[in-house]
Amino acid sequence: TTHWAYRDALAMRFPDILLDADKLVIDDGDIITAGGYMAWTDLGLKLVDRVLGPTVMMDTARFMLVDPPGREQRFYSPFAPRLNHGDEAILKVQHWLQARGARDVTLATMAEHAALEERTFLRRFRNATGLKPTEYCQHLRVGKAREMLQATTRSIDQIAWDVGYD
């Protein structure tokens, strides 16, 4: 594993490795890896569990006032879309979606905005971003909702409405 911010760089540099950047700690027998700056607590607790057992590990976690291992990085990592793919038509749509908050968009309007046929747009969008347009829009909307939950006092219903979940 690695920190979520380095996931793409590590995958490109070492394409043959099996990468799971969602987990904070991966125990592969002789090698234990941790991803993230504060994942040392999870790594330490994993070692305590391995050497002294789960009861001592839970006591240690309680003493340290931290959650026991089992958290995942994906709960902390923001959506970071690929923007360096070189496809100008798709990049134009990505910026347009970001500006709109991915609200009230259809495949037809995205393809039209890119000046491409729908099938061509779908293929190129997937190649450029690694996601289907619907998945990409979902990530944008959920990311915006996450920001609003952290930074405002609005209710979940209000935020859901604001990001387009009517």
What average pLDDT score do residues 113-137 get? 96
pLDDT winner (highest mean) among 41-50, 67-76, 82-91, 119-128: 119-128
pTM: 0.60
Flag whether pLDDT at 108 surpasses 70: yes
- C-alpha–C-alpha distance, residues 33 and 23, integer Å: 10
Q: Which pLDDT belongs to residue 19?
A: 83
Q: Which pLDDT belongs to residue 117?
A: 97
Band (78; pLDDT cuts 50, 70, 90):
confident
Amino acid at 7: R
- C-alpha–C-alpha distance, residues 40 and 16, integer Å: 26
Q: Which pLDDT belongs to residue 125?
A: 97
pLDDT winner (highest mean) among 29-38, 116-125, 148-157: 116-125
- C-alpha–C-alpha distance, residues 144 and 160, integer Å: 10
Domains of the chain: 4-75 (no CATH), 88-162 (1.10.10.60)
Band (80; pLDDT cuts 50, 70, 90):
confident
Flag whether pLDDT at 116 surpasses 70: yes
Q: Which pLDDT belongs to residue 73?
A: 60
33 strand-pairing partners: 26
SS3 assignment, position 104: coil
Encode pLDDT of 16-33 as tens digits.
988 887 787 888 888 888
Picking from 126, 98, 96, the residue whose alpha carbon sits closest to that of residue 112 is 96
* Beta strand spans in the chain (E): 25-27, 32-34
Both tokens of 118, joined, read 């729908």
Band (72; pLDDT cuts 50, 70, 90):
low
23 strand-pairing partners: 72
